[in-house]
C-alpha cells in the first residue's frame, strides 16, 4: 500500500468513529472525558520533564501533538484532501512521517472509542472508570503498538533533524504547503523539527528523552493490565496529583 492510500484509510477510520460519536452523543461525551483524563495523566507522568529546561519543549510537543485532548478535525480534513499531494510535494522521509502520524491517530481514536463505549468516566471517580474501561477493552498488543508508533515518530524526528539541509527545505515548503491546503501538517512538522533539533545539539539528550517515555509508558501499560484494580486507581490518582 502506498503512502497516500495508507493516509486515506487512516483518515477514513477516524471519520467513521467521529460519525459514530455524532450519532451517539453519550459516546462523544465519554470520548471527550477519556481524552481529557489521558492528557492530564500524561502531564502528571512527565511533570518533572515539563519543568525541565532540557526537556520541557519536547514534552509539550508530545503532550500537544500526540497525547492531547485537542480536536484534530482540521488536520484530519487536510490529510484526507491532500493524501496524494503529500507524496509529490514533500520529500519521501517527511511523507512517511505524515503517514505514521495518520496511522497513529487512527489507532488512538479506535482505542479511545472502544473505552468510551464501555465507561463514560464518572467525574467523581474517573480513575476507577478508566481502569474498568481499559481492562474491558483489552487490546494489549494495540496498546504496545500505540507506544511503539509514538516512539518511532520521535525517533524519526531525531533522524530527520540530523539530515543536512532538510530543515531549510521544510521552511521553503511553507508557501507551497499553504497553497495546497497543508498548513496544519506543515505546522506539525516544523514544530517537531525545531523541538528535536534543539535537543540533538547535546549528544544523547533526545535519545534519553525517548527512553524515559518508553520506560514510563511501558510501566504504566503493565500496571493497568496486570496489577490489582485498586493499585491502578491509586497510582493514577497519584499521577494526576502531579499534573500541572
- Distance between CA 237 and CA 243 in Å, rounded? 10
Predicted confidence at residue 142, as pLDDT, reads: 96
Q: Are 107 and 146 in contact (CB under 8 A)?
A: yes
Q: Are 193 and 167 in contact (CB under 8 A)?
A: yes
**Contacts with 181 (C-beta within 8 Å, 6 or more apart), sequence order:** 78, 81, 82
Record the pTM: 0.85
Predicted confidence at residue 12, as pLDDT, reads: 86
pLDDT digits (tens, 9 = 90+) for 91-128: 677 777 778 888 888 999 999 999 999 877 778 889 99
Show the cell assigned to 216: 514510563
Predicted confidence at residue 230, as pLDDT, reads: 94
- Distance between CA 20 and CA 54 in Å, rounded? 41
Predicted confidence at residue 119, as pLDDT, reads: 77
Three-state SS sequence of 135-199: HHHCCHHHHHHHHHHHHHHHHHHHHHHCCCCHHHHHHHCHHHHHHCCCHHHHHHHHHHHHHHHHH
Cα distances (Å, whole numbers) of residue 109 to 38, 47, 76, 241:
12, 25, 12, 26
Q: What is the pLDDT along the chain (244 residues), one digit of tens a residue?
A: 577 788 888 888 888 998 888 899 999 999 999 999 999 999 999 999 999 988 898 888 888 877 777 766 666 666 666 566 666 666 677 777 778 888 888 999 999 999 999 877 778 889 999 999 999 999 999 999 999 999 998 888 888 777 766 666 666 666 666 665 566 667 777 777 777 777 777 788 888 999 999 999 999 999 999 999 999 999 999 999 886 6
Comparing C-alpha atoms, which of 104, 106, 119, 105 is closest to residue 34?
119
Block residue for cell numbers 540533538: 200
Q: Are 26 and 113 in contact (CB under 8 A)?
A: no
Number of H-type helices and E-type strands within the chain:
13, 0
**Contacts with 87 (C-beta within 8 Å, 6 or more apart), sequence order:** 2, 3, 4, 95
Predicted confidence at residue 98, as pLDDT, reads: 78
- Distance between CA 140 and CA 99 in Å, rounded? 23
Amino acid at each position: 500500500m502506498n503512502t497516500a492510500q495508507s493516509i486515506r484509510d487512516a483518515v477514513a477510520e477516524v471519520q467513521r468513529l467521529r460519525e459514530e460519536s455524532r450519532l451517539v452523543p453519550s459516546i462523544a461525551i465519554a470520548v471527550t472525558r477519556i481524552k481529557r483524563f489521558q492528557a492530564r495523566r500524561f502531564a502528571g507522568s512527565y511533570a518533572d520533564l515539563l519543568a525541565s529546561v532540557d526537556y520541557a519543549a519536547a514534552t509539550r510537543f508530545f503532550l500537544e501533538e500526540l497525547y492531547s485532548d485537542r480536536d484534530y478535525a482540521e488536520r484530519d480534513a487536510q490529510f484526507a484532501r491532500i493524501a496524494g499531494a503529500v507524496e509529490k510535494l514533500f520529500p519521501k522521509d517527511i511523507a512517511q512521517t505524515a503517514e505514521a502520524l495518520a496511522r497513529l491517530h487512527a489507532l488512538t481514536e479506535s482505542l479511545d472509542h472502544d473505552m468510551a463505549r464501555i465507561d463514560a468516566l464518572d467525574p467523581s471517580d474517573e480513575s476507577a472508570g478508566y481502569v474498568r474501561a481499559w481492562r474491558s477493552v483489552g487490546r494489549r498488543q494495540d496498546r504496545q503498538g500505540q507506544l511503539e508508533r509514538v516512539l518511532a515518530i520521535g525517533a524519526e524526528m531525531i533522524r530527520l533533524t540530523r539530515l543536512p539541509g532538510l530543515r531549510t527545505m521544510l521552511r521553503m515548503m511553507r508557501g507551497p504547503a499553504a497553497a495546497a491546503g497543508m498548513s496544519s501538517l506543515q505546522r506539525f512538522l516544523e514544530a517537531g523539527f525545531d523541538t528535536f533539533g534543539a535537543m540533538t545539539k547535546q549528544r544523547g539528550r533526545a535519545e534519553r528523552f525517548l527512553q524515559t517515555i518508553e520506560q514510563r509508558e511501558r510501566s504504566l501499560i503493565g500496571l493497568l493490565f496486570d496489577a490489582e484494580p485498586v493499585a491502578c486507581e491509586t497510582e493514577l490518582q497519584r499521577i494526576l496529583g502531579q499534573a500541572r
